[in-house]
Copies of this chain bind each other. A is one copy, B any other.
Amino acid sequence: MISVAEARALLFDLVAPLPVEEVPLAQANGRVLAREVTARRDQPPFDASSMDGYAIKATEAQKDSMFRVIGEAAAGHGFSGTVGAGQAVRIFTGAPMPKGADFVVIQEDVSRTGEIITISDEPGSNPNVRAAGGDFRIGTTVAAPRRLRPQDIALLASMNIPRVSVTRKPVVALISTGDELVMPGEEPGPDQIIASNTFGLKAMLEEAGADARLLPIARDSHASLDTAFGLARGADLIVTIGGASVGDHDLVGEVAQDLGLKRAFYKIAMRPGKPLMAGRMGDAAMVGLPGNPVSAMVCGHLFLVPMVRALLGLGTDIPPLHSARLAGALGPNGPREHYMRAVVENGQARVFDNQDSAMLGVLAVANALVVRPPNDAALADGAEISYLPI
Protein backbone atom coordinates (compact mmCIF):
# COMPACT_ATOMS: atom_id res chain seq x y z
CA MET A 1 0.00 0.00 0.00
CA ILE A 2 1.26 3.45 -0.91
CA SER A 3 0.10 6.85 0.31
CA VAL A 4 -2.03 9.28 -1.70
CA ALA A 5 1.02 11.53 -2.12
CA GLU A 6 3.15 8.61 -3.38
CA ALA A 7 0.42 7.59 -5.84
CA ARG A 8 0.19 11.16 -7.08
CA ALA A 9 3.96 11.28 -7.64
CA LEU A 10 3.74 8.09 -9.75
CA LEU A 11 0.86 9.57 -11.77
CA PHE A 12 2.78 12.82 -12.34
CA ASP A 13 5.48 10.72 -14.05
CA LEU A 14 2.90 9.92 -16.74
CA VAL A 15 2.27 13.53 -17.80
CA ALA A 16 4.24 16.54 -19.02
CA PRO A 17 3.19 20.12 -19.88
CA LEU A 18 1.36 20.42 -23.19
CA PRO A 19 2.35 22.72 -26.07
CA VAL A 20 1.57 26.41 -26.11
CA GLU A 21 -1.02 28.17 -28.27
CA GLU A 22 -2.12 31.78 -28.69
CA VAL A 23 -5.62 32.98 -27.81
CA PRO A 24 -7.27 36.41 -27.89
CA LEU A 25 -7.22 38.08 -24.48
CA ALA A 26 -11.04 38.09 -24.32
CA GLN A 27 -10.95 34.27 -24.36
CA ALA A 28 -8.04 33.86 -21.96
CA ASN A 29 -9.75 33.88 -18.55
CA GLY A 30 -9.19 30.56 -16.77
CA ARG A 31 -6.47 29.56 -19.23
CA VAL A 32 -2.88 29.04 -18.05
CA LEU A 33 -0.45 31.75 -19.11
CA ALA A 34 2.51 29.84 -20.53
CA ARG A 35 5.04 32.60 -21.15
CA GLU A 36 5.97 35.64 -19.10
CA VAL A 37 4.43 38.84 -20.45
CA THR A 38 6.37 42.10 -20.53
CA ALA A 39 4.64 45.50 -20.51
CA ARG A 40 5.42 47.50 -23.63
CA ARG A 41 4.26 50.80 -22.15
CA ASP A 42 4.11 52.81 -18.95
CA GLN A 43 0.82 53.10 -17.10
CA PRO A 44 -0.19 55.84 -16.70
CA PRO A 45 1.78 56.82 -19.83
CA PHE A 46 1.95 60.41 -18.52
CA ASP A 47 1.46 62.25 -15.23
CA ALA A 48 -2.34 62.24 -14.96
CA SER A 49 -4.89 64.08 -12.88
CA SER A 50 -6.69 61.85 -10.42
CA MET A 51 -9.50 64.40 -9.87
CA ASP A 52 -11.69 66.96 -11.64
CA GLY A 53 -10.35 70.46 -10.91
CA TYR A 54 -7.71 72.97 -12.00
CA ALA A 55 -4.07 72.26 -12.81
CA ILE A 56 -1.68 74.87 -11.38
CA LYS A 57 1.85 75.14 -10.00
CA ALA A 58 2.17 73.47 -6.56
CA THR A 59 4.05 76.52 -5.28
CA GLU A 60 0.94 78.62 -5.87
CA ALA A 61 -1.52 76.20 -4.25
CA GLN A 62 -2.67 78.45 -1.41
CA LYS A 63 -6.07 79.54 -0.16
CA ASP A 64 -7.27 82.83 -1.72
CA SER A 65 -4.82 82.67 -4.64
CA MET A 66 -6.35 83.68 -7.98
CA PHE A 67 -5.64 82.27 -11.44
CA ARG A 68 -6.62 82.90 -15.04
CA VAL A 69 -7.98 79.77 -16.79
CA ILE A 70 -6.06 79.46 -20.07
CA GLY A 71 -7.42 76.16 -21.40
CA GLU A 72 -8.76 72.71 -20.73
CA ALA A 73 -7.35 69.19 -20.45
CA ALA A 74 -9.64 66.20 -20.65
CA ALA A 75 -8.98 62.45 -20.79
CA GLY A 76 -7.82 61.81 -24.33
CA HIS A 77 -7.32 65.52 -25.07
CA GLY A 78 -4.37 67.11 -23.29
CA PHE A 79 -3.63 70.85 -23.14
CA SER A 80 -0.78 71.64 -25.53
CA GLY A 81 0.40 74.89 -23.95
CA THR A 82 2.35 75.55 -20.76
CA VAL A 83 0.95 76.71 -17.44
CA GLY A 84 2.71 79.83 -16.21
CA ALA A 85 2.60 81.66 -12.88
CA GLY A 86 -0.94 82.79 -12.05
CA GLN A 87 -2.40 80.48 -14.68
CA ALA A 88 -4.63 77.41 -14.42
CA VAL A 89 -5.97 74.76 -16.78
CA ARG A 90 -9.40 73.24 -16.25
CA ILE A 91 -8.65 69.50 -15.93
CA PHE A 92 -10.65 66.28 -15.66
CA THR A 93 -9.85 62.90 -14.14
CA GLY A 94 -7.43 60.92 -16.28
CA ALA A 95 -6.26 63.90 -18.33
CA PRO A 96 -2.50 64.41 -18.87
CA MET A 97 -1.06 67.14 -16.64
CA PRO A 98 -0.20 70.20 -18.75
CA LYS A 99 3.42 71.30 -18.94
CA GLY A 100 4.28 73.69 -16.11
CA ALA A 101 1.61 72.34 -13.74
CA ASP A 102 2.18 69.80 -10.97
CA PHE A 103 -0.86 70.26 -8.72
CA VAL A 104 -4.61 69.83 -9.17
CA VAL A 105 -6.92 71.89 -6.96
CA ILE A 106 -10.16 69.91 -6.80
CA GLN A 107 -13.17 71.74 -8.19
CA GLU A 108 -14.92 71.70 -4.80
CA ASP A 109 -12.14 73.98 -3.43
CA VAL A 110 -12.45 76.59 -6.18
CA SER A 111 -14.88 79.41 -6.99
CA ARG A 112 -14.99 80.56 -10.59
CA THR A 113 -16.11 83.81 -12.22
CA GLY A 114 -15.68 83.87 -15.96
CA GLU A 115 -12.07 82.96 -16.66
CA ILE A 116 -10.90 83.74 -13.12
CA ILE A 117 -10.77 81.16 -10.33
CA THR A 118 -10.05 81.67 -6.66
CA ILE A 119 -8.97 78.88 -4.29
CA SER A 120 -11.75 79.15 -1.74
CA ASP A 121 -10.70 76.32 0.58
CA GLU A 122 -7.44 75.03 1.98
CA PRO A 123 -6.14 72.92 -0.97
CA GLY A 124 -4.15 70.50 1.20
CA SER A 125 -0.88 68.85 0.30
CA ASN A 126 -2.06 65.98 -1.95
CA PRO A 127 -1.26 67.11 -5.53
CA ASN A 128 -3.96 64.74 -6.96
CA VAL A 129 -1.54 63.62 -9.64
CA ARG A 130 -0.83 60.02 -10.64
CA ALA A 131 2.83 59.80 -11.68
CA ALA A 132 3.68 58.29 -15.06
CA GLY A 133 4.55 54.61 -14.63
CA GLY A 134 3.00 54.46 -11.18
CA ASP A 135 0.99 51.34 -12.03
CA PHE A 136 3.63 49.66 -14.21
CA ARG A 137 6.55 50.56 -16.46
CA ILE A 138 7.92 49.26 -19.75
CA GLY A 139 9.57 45.98 -18.83
CA THR A 140 7.28 45.16 -15.88
CA THR A 141 6.49 41.45 -16.15
CA VAL A 142 3.53 39.21 -15.46
CA ALA A 143 5.02 35.86 -14.45
CA ALA A 144 4.09 32.49 -15.96
CA PRO A 145 2.79 29.90 -15.42
CA ARG A 146 -0.37 31.14 -13.78
CA ARG A 147 -4.06 30.47 -14.28
CA LEU A 148 -5.46 33.80 -15.47
CA ARG A 149 -8.12 35.48 -13.31
CA PRO A 150 -10.31 38.48 -14.18
CA GLN A 151 -7.88 40.92 -12.56
CA ASP A 152 -4.98 39.46 -14.60
CA ILE A 153 -7.02 39.93 -17.77
CA ALA A 154 -7.62 43.59 -16.85
CA LEU A 155 -3.91 44.11 -16.18
CA LEU A 156 -2.85 42.44 -19.45
CA ALA A 157 -5.36 44.57 -21.36
CA SER A 158 -3.95 47.75 -19.82
CA MET A 159 -0.47 46.57 -20.91
CA ASN A 160 -1.81 46.44 -24.49
CA ILE A 161 -1.48 42.67 -24.81
CA PRO A 162 -4.22 41.63 -27.28
CA ARG A 163 -3.22 37.94 -27.44
CA VAL A 164 -1.57 35.67 -24.89
CA SER A 165 0.36 32.41 -25.02
CA VAL A 166 -1.45 29.75 -23.02
CA THR A 167 -1.01 26.02 -22.56
CA ARG A 168 -3.26 24.00 -24.81
CA LYS A 169 -6.24 22.54 -22.93
CA PRO A 170 -5.66 18.89 -22.03
CA VAL A 171 -8.12 16.63 -23.82
CA VAL A 172 -9.48 14.05 -21.39
CA ALA A 173 -11.47 11.09 -22.71
CA LEU A 174 -13.90 9.62 -20.17
CA ILE A 175 -15.04 6.03 -20.62
CA SER A 176 -17.62 4.39 -18.36
CA THR A 177 -17.36 0.62 -18.44
CA GLY A 178 -19.87 -2.03 -17.51
CA ASP A 179 -22.86 -3.99 -18.78
CA GLU A 180 -24.90 -2.55 -15.91
CA LEU A 181 -24.79 1.04 -17.22
CA VAL A 182 -27.11 3.04 -19.45
CA MET A 183 -26.90 6.74 -20.34
CA PRO A 184 -29.23 9.27 -18.69
CA GLY A 185 -32.43 9.38 -20.70
CA GLU A 186 -32.38 5.66 -21.52
CA GLU A 187 -34.65 3.12 -19.87
CA PRO A 188 -32.50 0.89 -17.62
CA GLY A 189 -33.21 -2.86 -17.44
CA PRO A 190 -34.04 -4.39 -14.05
CA ASP A 191 -30.35 -5.05 -13.27
CA GLN A 192 -29.07 -1.74 -14.61
CA ILE A 193 -28.18 1.70 -13.30
CA ILE A 194 -27.42 5.07 -14.88
CA ALA A 195 -23.89 6.11 -15.80
CA SER A 196 -23.26 9.12 -13.56
CA ASN A 197 -19.52 9.25 -12.85
CA THR A 198 -18.47 10.46 -16.27
CA PHE A 199 -20.95 13.33 -16.08
CA GLY A 200 -19.64 14.47 -12.71
CA LEU A 201 -16.00 14.04 -13.75
CA LYS A 202 -16.54 15.94 -17.01
CA ALA A 203 -17.82 18.94 -15.05
CA MET A 204 -14.97 18.70 -12.52
CA LEU A 205 -12.23 18.43 -15.16
CA GLU A 206 -13.64 21.28 -17.23
CA GLU A 207 -13.56 23.50 -14.14
CA ALA A 208 -9.91 22.51 -13.78
CA GLY A 209 -9.20 23.73 -17.32
CA ALA A 210 -9.52 20.54 -19.40
CA ASP A 211 -11.54 19.76 -22.49
CA ALA A 212 -13.37 16.64 -21.27
CA ARG A 213 -15.03 14.31 -23.77
CA LEU A 214 -17.60 11.80 -22.74
CA LEU A 215 -17.28 8.63 -24.85
CA PRO A 216 -19.94 5.94 -25.29
CA ILE A 217 -20.25 3.39 -22.50
CA ALA A 218 -17.95 0.40 -23.02
CA ARG A 219 -19.55 -2.97 -22.39
CA ASP A 220 -17.82 -5.86 -20.62
CA SER A 221 -16.41 -7.31 -23.83
CA HIS A 222 -13.07 -7.06 -25.60
CA ALA A 223 -14.71 -5.68 -28.73
CA SER A 224 -16.64 -2.94 -26.96
CA LEU A 225 -13.63 -1.81 -24.91
CA ASP A 226 -11.48 -1.88 -28.02
CA THR A 227 -13.95 0.43 -29.76
CA ALA A 228 -14.00 2.82 -26.81
CA PHE A 229 -10.21 3.04 -26.65
CA GLY A 230 -10.19 3.65 -30.39
CA LEU A 231 -12.54 6.60 -29.93
CA ALA A 232 -10.24 7.95 -27.20
CA ARG A 233 -7.32 8.28 -29.60
CA GLY A 234 -5.95 11.84 -29.65
CA ALA A 235 -6.69 12.43 -25.97
CA ASP A 236 -3.92 13.47 -23.60
CA LEU A 237 -5.46 11.55 -20.72
CA ILE A 238 -7.76 8.54 -21.00
CA VAL A 239 -9.85 7.76 -17.93
CA THR A 240 -11.87 4.58 -17.51
CA ILE A 241 -14.35 4.22 -14.70
CA GLY A 242 -15.13 0.78 -13.35
CA GLY A 243 -13.42 -2.50 -14.12
CA ALA A 244 -10.15 -1.35 -12.57
CA SER A 245 -9.81 -3.94 -9.85
CA VAL A 246 -8.63 -7.50 -10.42
CA GLY A 247 -11.97 -9.34 -10.34
CA ASP A 248 -13.02 -11.88 -12.99
CA HIS A 249 -15.08 -9.27 -14.78
CA ASP A 250 -12.36 -6.64 -15.11
CA LEU A 251 -11.44 -6.71 -18.75
CA VAL A 252 -10.35 -3.08 -18.98
CA GLY A 253 -6.75 -3.76 -18.02
CA GLU A 254 -6.47 -6.71 -20.40
CA VAL A 255 -7.74 -4.78 -23.40
CA ALA A 256 -5.64 -1.72 -22.56
CA GLN A 257 -2.59 -3.96 -22.29
CA ASP A 258 -3.33 -5.42 -25.74
CA LEU A 259 -3.33 -1.82 -26.98
CA GLY A 260 0.11 -1.15 -25.54
CA LEU A 261 -0.55 -0.06 -21.97
CA LYS A 262 2.30 -0.84 -19.61
CA ARG A 263 0.00 -1.10 -16.67
CA ALA A 264 0.69 -0.69 -13.03
CA PHE A 265 -1.68 -1.12 -10.12
CA TYR A 266 -1.36 1.19 -7.20
CA LYS A 267 -2.96 -0.06 -4.03
CA ILE A 268 -3.48 3.19 -2.23
CA ALA A 269 -4.01 3.51 1.51
CA MET A 270 -7.10 5.68 1.20
CA ARG A 271 -10.86 5.66 1.68
CA PRO A 272 -12.92 5.80 -0.41
CA GLY A 273 -10.92 4.15 -3.16
CA LYS A 274 -9.62 0.93 -4.55
CA PRO A 275 -6.53 0.03 -6.52
CA LEU A 276 -5.96 2.49 -9.36
CA MET A 277 -4.69 1.27 -12.69
CA ALA A 278 -2.37 3.63 -14.54
CA GLY A 279 0.18 3.78 -17.33
CA ARG A 280 1.10 5.26 -20.70
CA MET A 281 -0.89 4.09 -23.72
CA GLY A 282 0.38 5.44 -27.03
CA ASP A 283 0.59 9.23 -26.70
CA ALA A 284 -1.73 9.36 -23.72
CA ALA A 285 -1.64 8.83 -19.99
CA MET A 286 -4.24 6.30 -18.90
CA VAL A 287 -5.90 6.04 -15.47
CA GLY A 288 -8.49 3.47 -14.44
CA LEU A 289 -10.72 4.65 -11.59
CA PRO A 290 -12.95 2.56 -9.34
CA GLY A 291 -16.61 2.41 -10.33
CA ASN A 292 -18.22 3.45 -7.07
CA PRO A 293 -19.60 6.93 -7.73
CA VAL A 294 -18.13 8.67 -4.70
CA SER A 295 -14.79 6.88 -5.05
CA ALA A 296 -14.58 8.01 -8.67
CA MET A 297 -15.33 11.64 -7.78
CA VAL A 298 -12.89 11.68 -4.84
CA CYS A 299 -10.18 10.12 -7.04
CA GLY A 300 -11.01 12.83 -9.58
CA HIS A 301 -10.20 15.51 -7.00
CA LEU A 302 -7.10 13.76 -5.64
CA PHE A 303 -5.54 12.45 -8.84
CA LEU A 304 -7.14 13.67 -12.07
CA VAL A 305 -7.33 17.39 -11.25
CA PRO A 306 -3.63 17.44 -10.20
CA MET A 307 -2.74 15.60 -13.44
CA VAL A 308 -4.66 18.21 -15.44
CA ARG A 309 -2.77 20.96 -13.58
CA ALA A 310 0.53 19.26 -14.45
CA LEU A 311 -0.54 18.95 -18.12
CA LEU A 312 -1.34 22.67 -18.04
CA GLY A 313 2.18 23.43 -16.87
CA LEU A 314 1.11 24.44 -13.37
CA GLY A 315 3.51 21.95 -11.83
CA THR A 316 3.01 19.28 -9.24
CA ASP A 317 2.50 21.37 -6.12
CA ILE A 318 -0.84 20.61 -4.54
CA PRO A 319 -2.86 23.63 -3.35
CA PRO A 320 -2.73 23.64 0.46
CA LEU A 321 -5.63 22.19 2.44
CA HIS A 322 -7.90 24.54 4.39
CA SER A 323 -8.52 24.22 8.08
CA ALA A 324 -11.68 24.32 10.18
CA ARG A 325 -13.00 23.23 13.57
CA LEU A 326 -14.81 19.94 13.90
CA ALA A 327 -18.49 20.18 14.85
CA GLY A 328 -19.04 16.98 16.83
CA ALA A 329 -16.56 14.24 17.75
CA LEU A 330 -15.06 11.60 15.43
CA GLY A 331 -13.77 8.12 16.30
CA PRO A 332 -10.21 7.04 15.54
CA ASN A 333 -9.25 6.50 11.88
CA GLY A 334 -8.09 3.18 10.48
CA PRO A 335 -4.86 2.54 8.58
CA ARG A 336 -6.00 4.35 5.42
CA GLU A 337 -6.15 8.11 4.74
CA HIS A 338 -9.85 8.93 4.87
CA TYR A 339 -11.51 11.65 2.77
CA MET A 340 -14.75 12.22 4.64
CA ARG A 341 -17.67 14.01 3.06
CA ALA A 342 -18.54 17.09 5.12
CA VAL A 343 -20.11 20.52 5.11
CA VAL A 344 -17.90 23.44 6.17
CA GLU A 345 -19.73 26.63 7.15
CA ASN A 346 -18.38 29.55 9.17
CA GLY A 347 -15.20 27.65 9.94
CA GLN A 348 -17.12 24.63 11.35
CA ALA A 349 -16.86 21.22 9.69
CA ARG A 350 -19.81 18.86 10.07
CA VAL A 351 -18.86 15.35 8.89
CA PHE A 352 -21.68 13.17 7.55
CA ASP A 353 -22.43 9.94 9.42
CA ASN A 354 -22.92 8.04 6.17
CA GLN A 355 -19.56 7.70 4.44
CA ASP A 356 -20.60 4.85 2.10
CA SER A 357 -18.71 5.26 -1.17
CA ALA A 358 -21.86 4.77 -3.26
CA MET A 359 -23.87 7.66 -1.79
CA LEU A 360 -24.03 10.47 -4.36
CA GLY A 361 -26.84 12.07 -2.36
CA VAL A 362 -24.39 12.71 0.48
CA LEU A 363 -21.67 13.95 -1.87
CA ALA A 364 -24.07 16.41 -3.51
CA VAL A 365 -24.80 18.17 -0.21
CA ALA A 366 -21.11 18.17 0.81
CA ASN A 367 -18.75 21.05 0.10
CA ALA A 368 -15.60 19.59 1.63
CA LEU A 369 -13.58 16.43 2.06
CA VAL A 370 -12.21 16.30 5.60
CA VAL A 371 -8.81 14.61 5.41
CA ARG A 372 -7.89 12.18 8.18
CA PRO A 373 -4.35 10.80 8.24
CA PRO A 374 -3.83 7.05 8.65
CA ASN A 375 -4.32 5.92 12.27
CA ASP A 376 -5.46 9.39 13.34
CA ALA A 377 -6.58 9.32 16.98
CA ALA A 378 -10.19 10.07 17.92
CA LEU A 379 -11.02 13.77 17.61
CA ALA A 380 -13.04 15.80 20.10
CA ASP A 381 -15.69 18.35 19.24
CA GLY A 382 -13.87 21.55 18.19
CA ALA A 383 -10.64 19.83 17.11
CA GLU A 384 -8.84 21.46 14.18
CA ILE A 385 -9.11 19.46 10.95
CA SER A 386 -7.84 19.91 7.39
CA TYR A 387 -10.15 19.80 4.40
CA LEU A 388 -10.22 19.99 0.64
CA PRO A 389 -13.05 22.25 -0.65
CA ILE A 390 -15.15 20.51 -3.32
Contacts and interface: CB of A to CB of B under 8 A. Distances in A.
A80 B44 CA distance: 78
A183 to B, nearest CB: 8
Contacts of A282: none
Contact of A360 (B135, B186, B191, B347): B135
A252 to B, nearest CB: 13
Interface string A131-175: 000111000101000001111111111111111000000000000
A150 B305 CA distance: 13
Highest count of chain B CB atoms <10 Å: which of A92, A154, A188: A154
A194 B157 contact: yes
Contacts of A291: 75, 93-94
Given A93-B291, A207-B29, A154 B78 contact: no
A180 interface: yes
B135 A179 contact: no
Interface string A69-103: 00000111110000000000000111110000000
A9 interface: no
B44 A193 contact: yes
A196 interface: yes
Nearest to A246: B52
Interface stretch (A55-63, A197-205, A325-333): A197-205
A178 B75 contact: yes
B43 A193 contact: yes
Interface string A346-363: 110000000010111101
Interface string A287-301: 000011100010010
Highest count of chain B CB atoms <10 Å: which of A43, A76, A151: A151
A245 interface: yes
B361 A153 contact: no
Given A130-B358, A200-B154, A194 B76 contact: no
Contacts of A76: 178-181, 189, 191-192, 220
Contacts of A156: 184, 199
Interface size class of A (residues with CB under 8 A): 35 or more
A364 B197 contact: no
Given A43-B360, A152-B364, A74 B179 contact: yes
A323 interface: yes
A230 interface: no
B203 A153 contact: yes
Contacts of A94: 178, 180, 193, 291
Given A52-B245, A76-B220, A94-B291, 5 more contacts: A74-B249, A75-B179, A135-B361, A162-B184, A320-B346
22 contacts: A25-B199, A44-B193, A45-B190, A46-B190, A74-B179, A75-B291, A77-B179, A95-B180, A95-B191, A134-B356, A149-B364, A150-B207, A151-B200, A151-B360, A152-B364, A153-B203, A154-B203, A154-B363, A154-B364, A155-B200, A158-B360, A160-B186
